[in-house]
Amino acid sequence: MPDHDSALQYDVAVVGGGPGGSTVATLARLGGARVLLLEKEASPAYKIGESLLPATIHGICPLLGVSDAIKKAKFVPKMGGTFRWGKSPEPWTFEFASSASMRGPTSTAFQVERIKFDRILLDNARDKGVDVRLGCAATGLLSDQGRVNGLTFLDSSGVSQNCRARYVVDASGHQTALAKAAGERIYSKFFQNIALFGYYRNGGRLPKPNQGNIFCAAFEHGWFWYIPLSDTLTSVGAVIGKEQAPILSSGYETAMSELISACAPVRDLLSGAERVTEGTYGQLRVRKDYSYSHTRFWAPGLVLVGDAACFIDPVFSSGVHLATYSGLLAARSINTCLENSLNEEECFGEFEARYRREYSHFYDFLLAFYDVDEDVDSYYWQARKILNSPESGNDAFIDLVAGVGGGGERLYGSAEEYLSERNGLGSVLFPDSSTDRSTNKKTEDKRAAFYTDLLGEITQVQVQAMWGDVRPSERPVFPGGLIPSQDGLHWTRPTVSKKAAGLRR
């Protein structure tokens, strides 16, 4: 191994060229840092995570400078989500534009082929001056006196190299081997699902104007996603409970056919389709154990973004949003600390508190979403009637996602208290089958308010992108907390007194 004198020297070393890694690398570079990005694959490889949110497209992409490239890629426009879920037998649709704060051209997103999307972000990082090295796998961290100050990696020729950096970012995804240096991964006891997924040619489309939406259909064994990736290609995945794993023992092919047969809306959409059996999309794949959170998202000299830190459940397409949003928050903290303008504890405390807050928004949302009286005879849905379930056995996880130690989030004395505050969310989200949704204005209003709350941070990121260099001054999210700088790339203290500033919400 080379000695320290011959080590590469950077301000920031990023591990992973997915959306989280490319975002933090580009934004740290735009803040003036010298940045190295290591990606173990020779070029962006296949990944799941194809349905994006408006915050990524209209918030993060403009900040990165990739909006034109995204437009040119002609991804499938997504106006929202369509669901066959809950007691209502009819599919229902939510549109991003139904949030009062997000009407207009920024209320859309895209369904993307991840190889193409990730390549746009990675090429842009290189164009902006990041030293992007493909085929280079990080192998460990270097540290001194309790502080991470670099990493080791195998370069594309298989030679071991050292790199010194003031900050190392772990954006290496769910299989990270580095994140344990910042804490421990805690798995959700409730969200213990398995996803079986593949690709189909010439599947049907939802009626206009919902043809580009993600379609999620609940059925007795769990739920399906159905994501149109082009006029002819569709990503189809079944999410089933861990207790249903024996279904897979007959082989993925048989299991997929059986699951599709059991879900009428998806079976109908695929009636004239054939499964893709060759190339990138040619195999059926399985993912499990993907709902977790790390006990800490940073340690001195090290910061975790994206799946390296946490992920929850794919039903609301939060993964790429959380990865890119955490990349933005981490870059602000790094840029500010590199300029020595604020102390590290404060900057990374702000990063972690905002990141956990966004994660717990989705966690709350998903708890409510799975609180659905789908089918009392179905073991899957009975097991997921979580407001009456032994979720309290997972106190540590709940405390974690509720933001204990996160600096300013509401702290809950117990899991029961946490859950009791959430009672009734299910009825807000799901209309009673006996009522006509179109005339049930009260439910619609409550639902719109809930979405607006959920999408609050998303909207903030979009507004930030639209304002560019002339951001309006913001109030801190947490008491005594920091706010983004005018350029959006750093943290700063609010100029008004703390008392006058108050809390944003």
Strand partners of residue 194: 240, 288
Q: Which of residues 310-339 bind ligand FAD (CB under 6 A)?
A: 311, 314, 317, 319-321, 323
* Under 8 Å between Cβ of 73 and 230: no
Work out the burial of residue 479: count CB atoms within 10 Å of its CB; fewer than 13 is exposed, 13-18 middle, 19 or more buried.
Answer: exposed
Residue with tokens 């309790």: 146
Q: Using an 8 Å Cβ cutoff, are 485 and 60 in contact?
A: no
CA neighbor of 429 nearest in space, from 445, 410, 447, 403? 447
**Rounded distance, CA 208 to CA 468, Å?**
34
Beta bridge partners of 91: none
Contact between 352 and 325 under an 8 Å Cβ cutoff? The reply is no
Q: Which residue number, 314 or 349, has a Cβ lying nearer to ligand FAD?
A: 314
The number of residues that bind ligand FAD (CB under 6 A) is 35
Q: Which stretch binds ligand FAD (CB under 6 A): 32-40, 264-272, 382-390, 490-498?
A: 32-40
Question: Is 48 a residue that touches ligand FAD (CB under 6 A)?
Answer: yes
Q: For residues 139 and 389, which CB has a smaller minimum distance to ligand FAD in the complex?
A: 139
Q: Exactly one of 7, 14, 24, 38 binds ligand FAD (CB under 6 A); which one? A: 38
CA distance 81 to 214: 5
Residue number, 48 or 276, with CB nearest to ligand FAD: 48
Helix residue ranges per DSSP H, 238-372: 252-262, 264-269, 319-338, 344-370
Which of residues 369 and 412 has its CB atom nearest to ligand FAD in the complex? 369
Please report, as residue ranges, which positions from 275 to 314 form the binding site for ligand FAD (by CB under 6 A): 287, 290, 306-307, 311, 314
Query: ∠497-503-505 over CA atoms, to 5°?
Result: 160
Q: Are 63 and 328 a contacting pair, CB within 8 Å?
A: yes
Structure token pair of residue 435 = 């009522």
Min separation Cβ 205 and ligand FAD, Å: 17
Determine, following the binding rule CB under 6 A, whether residue 456 of this chain makes contact with ligand FAD. no
H-run or E-run covering 28: helix 19-30
C-beta of 38: minimal distance to ligand FAD in Å? 5
If the CB atoms of residues 47 and 116 are measured against ligand FAD, the closer one turns out to be 47
* Nearest distance, CB of residue 476 and ligand FAD, angstroms: 27
Stretch that binds ligand FAD, among 15-23, 94-102, 179-187, 368-376 (CB under 6 A): 15-23
Choose one: 72-80, 166-174, 350-358, 419-427; the region binding ligand FAD (CB under 6 A). 166-174
Verify binding: residue 422, ligand FAD, rule CB under 6 A: no
Helices of type H across 181-285: 252-262, 264-269
Q: Binding to ligand FAD by residue 59, rule CB under 6 A?
A: no
Q: With binding defined as CB under 6 A, does residue 31 bind ligand FAD?
A: no
Burial 303-321 (b: 16+ CB within 10 A, else e): bbbbbbbbbbbbbbbbbbb
- In the region spanning residues 344 to 383, those forming contacts with ligand FAD, defined by CB under 6 A, are none
Residue 17 near ligand FAD by CB under 6 A: yes
Which of 172, 188, 210, 459 is in the footprint of ligand FAD by CB under 6 A? 172
**What is the greatest pairwise CA distance in the chain?**
73
CB of 231 to ligand FAD, least distance (A): 19
Pick one of 7, 11, 20, 464: the residue that binds ligand FAD (CB under 6 A): 20
Q: Contact 40/137 with Cβ under 8 angstroms? A: yes
Exactly one of 13, 14, 18, 28 binds ligand FAD (CB under 6 A); which one? 18
CB of 195 to ligand FAD, least distance (A): 4
For ligand FAD, the binding residue among 47, 185, 385, 504 (CB under 6 A) is: 47
Q: List the beta bridge partners of residue 94.
A: 81
Instruction: Specify the residue, 20 or 86, whose C-beta has the smaller distance to ligand FAD.
Output: 20
119-158 footprint of ligand FAD as x/- string (CB under 6 A): ------------------xx--------------------
Choose, by CB under 6 A, the member of 8, 11, 30, 49 that binds ligand FAD: 49
Nearer to ligand FAD, 397 or 412 (CB): 397
Q: Quick one: which H or E segment has residue 69?
A: helix 67-72
Q: How far is the CB of 313 from ligand FAD (least distance, A)?
A: 8
**3 state SS for 401-447:** HCCCCCCCCCCCCCHHHHHHCCCCHHHHHCCCCCCCHHHCHHHHHHH
**Residues lying near ligand FAD in the complex (CB under 6 A):** 15-21, 38-41, 47-52, 137-138, 171-173, 195, 237, 287, 290, 306-307, 311, 314, 317, 319-321, 323
